[in-house]
Structure formats: structure tokens, C-alpha cells
Amino acid sequence: MNKRLLEITVSLLLLLSAAGLLQSATIPLPNGSFESPAIVFVDLNIDSWQKTPKPDWYVESGGFLWSQLTGAFKNTAAGSFDHIDNCAGDQAVWMFAVPGAGLFQDYNSVDWNDPAPAHEFDARYEVGRAYALTAGVIGGGGGMSNGVTAEISFYYRDAASNQVKVAATSITNTPAIFSNKTHLIDFIVQVPTVKLGDAWADQHIGIQLLSTVSTGLQGGYWDFDNVRLTSSAEPTVRLLFAAEASGLRVSWLSETSRHYQVQASENLSSWSDFDSPLTGDGETLSKLVPAAAGSSTFVRVKASPSP
């Protein structure tokens, strides 16, 4: 048997009842609450965020330049009829419900004042971590129709610098969701735990706020604020292994509240369950995984809460 057997970090499958075990961390997001630059009333310039490019079909002679479809505004004073009561800081941004209008940022994006990428947002999709993007949203502005949509999303850039979407959450304007225009509603998009072999693994994270309205429903505007990015790592179990004459002996310290399923792979892509799952008893558990002579065997253990 090949002596270069690899130790693989255990992949834990956690149900919602175990979500509190996730180890979360906040990832700094440049100008996530749109406080820069500081403004008196409104401003088309937004630091750290790049505006989506103008599509060929958009005719600017119609009264609005493409650059005017997104911008920052200062929240009104407390007590005003239109004061946003949960605005983070003093400012937020608007986005007109026009197809393709939006804001994004990644490692190579540029804002209004950058002649070249400042590489200010330098975060990657790390293997073994999951990601969540949260944004406060208000819909219905400016007579927006019911059914108008926008989305928040994760992406990465491929070798040709094209944005490749990883995950997205769609937001639909309805009175049931947006009952008023003075309170931001949080929407979340999540990227599951990044795995070896995922196309976005170790790529720079990109995030986007985008109007996805159809041409027939365009009109009105959204407000966005308090964009937050977090990552979490599932608790891991340390695998120990030893080569035996007939295969690989895998062992780990178990927990009484969990079941453990050993899986094996020859390519780190396709995994197969090996034997029946084991029930944790607080002691060390082990399995002997057969391996053919001259081959490489990769092993992981999936843990789930006991039923």
C-alpha cells in the first residue's frame, strides 16, 4: 500500500440544532455601511464600491445618466417622517429598479476615485469555511411595482476576469415584506462550506447588489445599507491514521451526541460511504479502510447529531 496516505480534515455535517457550534468571524468589508465619503444630502460617489457598467441598450438621453442610478444619501433626522430607524451610521445608498443597475466590490474592483485597483477588499473563499452576506434593504420607493426584484450575491472572477456567480438571494418587492419605507429588512445569501475542488476555492471573494427587474416592471428604487460579511468554520475532529497490512486504520475521539460515517475516495471528488456509521460514546472510535497496493486512499468522516 502507498505509504503517502493523506490525513484529511474531517467534514462535519451539522443540522440546525447544532448551528451554535459554528465558529463565526466578521470579515471587514470596506465601506459596508456607505459612510464614505461623508455627504450633506446626496452624492453619486461611493467609496470602495464599483458601479455596474452601462449596458449598450441604456440610452442616457432619457433623463438619467447610468451613473445616477446608484448613489448615497444622508438619513434624515430622527423624528422625520422618512427617517430610517435602523440605518447603520448616517448614510445609505439608493439603487433604481432598472435592469443591471448595481454595485459590487472585489479584490480588483475600482471606485469613482481609483485609477487602478486598490486591492482594499482582500478576502478569499477558504476551504473549510462557509460565508454569509447580509444587507439591509427597503423596497417600494418611488412607486415601485409589486414583483420588482433585486438580488445580493457572491461571485469570483475566472481567469478572464469574468464574474462567476457562486450564490445569490433574490429579493421581491411586496407589501407583505416591505410594509413601510423607514425600516431596513435584512436579507442573507450564504455560501456553503467551501470544499477542495470547488471552482471558487481560494479565489478572491466578490459581492454584488444588483437590480434584476424585468424591463416591463422597471421603475422606482431600492435602499440598501449595513452590508455585512461573515465566515464560519464547522468544528473539526482530528483524524489519526496508521498503515496496516490490509489498509488504513482511521481513528478519532468521538462525542456521545454524534454519529460518524467514514467515507473514502481515490480522487478527493467522488466519495463513498465505507461500512455502517458508528455511534459516538466519548471514547476513541476507529475503522480499518482497505486500500489496494500501490494506490492512494483519501479518508474523511462525516459527523451528524444523533437522532
Q: What is the pLDDT of residues 237-258, one digit of tens each?
A: 678 878 787 777 888 888 777 7
Q: Where are the domains of the chain?
A: 11-16+235-305, 23-233
Most confidently predicted of 121-130, 164-173, 243-252: 164-173
pLDDT at 264: 80
Tell me the mean pLDDT in the region 58-63.
Answer: 86
User: Does residue 231 surpass a pLDDT of 90?
Assistant: yes
User: Does residue 226 surpass a pLDDT of 80?
Assistant: yes
206: exposed, middle or buried (Cβ count in 10 Å: 0-12, 13-18, 19+):
buried
Q: How many CB atoms lie within 10 A of CB 295?
A: 10
pLDDT at 58: 95
Share of the chain above pLDDT 70, in %: 88
Pick the CATH number of 11-16+235-305 from 2.60.40, 1.10.3470, 3.40.50, 2.60.120: 2.60.40
pLDDT at 295: 61
How far apart (Å, rounded) are the C-alpha atoms in residues 22 and 14? 9
Q: What is the pLDDT of residues 83-97, one digit of tens each?
A: 999 999 999 999 999
Give the three cell numbers for residue 293: 497496493
Tell me the mean pLDDT in the region 61-75.
Answer: 93
SS3 sequence of the chain = CCCCCECCCCEECCCHHHHHHCEEEEECCCCCCCCCCCCCCEECCCCCCEECCCCCCCCHHHCCCHHHHEEEEECCCCCCCCCCCCCCCCEEEEEECCCCCEEEECCCCCCCCCCCCCCCCCCECCCCEEEEEEEEEEEEECCCCCCCEEEEEEEEECCCCCEEEEEEEEEECCCCCCCCCCCCEEEEEEECCCCCCCCCCCCECEEEEEECCCHHHCCCEEEEEEEEEEEEECCCCCCEEEEECCEEEEEEECCCCEEEEEEEECCCCCCEECCCCEECCCCEEEEEEECCCCCCCEEEEEEEECC
More confident residue, 16 or 69: 69
pLDDT range class, residue 294, cuts 50, 70, 90: low
User: Does residue 293 surpass a pLDDT of 70?
Assistant: no
Task: Report which of 291, 218, 251 is spatially closest to residue 10, judged by C-alpha positions.
Answer: 251
Give the largest Cα separation in the chain, rounded.
78
Tell me the mean pLDDT in the region 115-138.
Answer: 95
pLDDT at 234: 66
pLDDT at 303: 78
Q: What is the pLDDT of residues 142-160, one digit of tens each?
A: 999 999 999 999 999 999 9
- CA triple 293-299-304, angle to 5 deg: 150
Q: What is the mean pLDDT of the chain?
A: 87
**Is beta strand 23-27 parallel, antiparallel or unpaired with respect to 221-233?**
antiparallel
User: Does residue 130 surpass a pLDDT of 80?
Assistant: yes
User: Does residue 73 surpass a pLDDT of 80?
Assistant: yes
pLDDT at 181: 96
pLDDT at 269: 77
User: Does residue 17 surpass a pLDDT of 70?
Assistant: no
**Is beta strand 272-273 parallel, antiparallel or unpaired with respect to 258-265?**
antiparallel
How far apart (Å, rounded) are the C-alpha atoms in residues 176 and 174? 5
pLDDT at 8: 33
- CA triple 121-126-129, angle to 5 deg: 110
pLDDT at 13: 31
Q: What is the pLDDT of residues 199-217, one digit of tens each?
A: 999 999 999 999 999 999 9
How distant is the alpha carbon of residue 38 from its chain centre?
A: 28
User: Does residue 163 surpass a pLDDT of 80?
Assistant: yes
How far apart (Å, rounded) are the C-alpha atoms in residues 18 and 307? 12
* CATH code at 23-233: 2.60.120.260
User: Does residue 133 surpass a pLDDT of 80?
Assistant: yes
Give the three cell numbers for residue 150: 433585486
How far apart (Å, rounded) are the C-alpha atoms in residues 190 and 194? 11
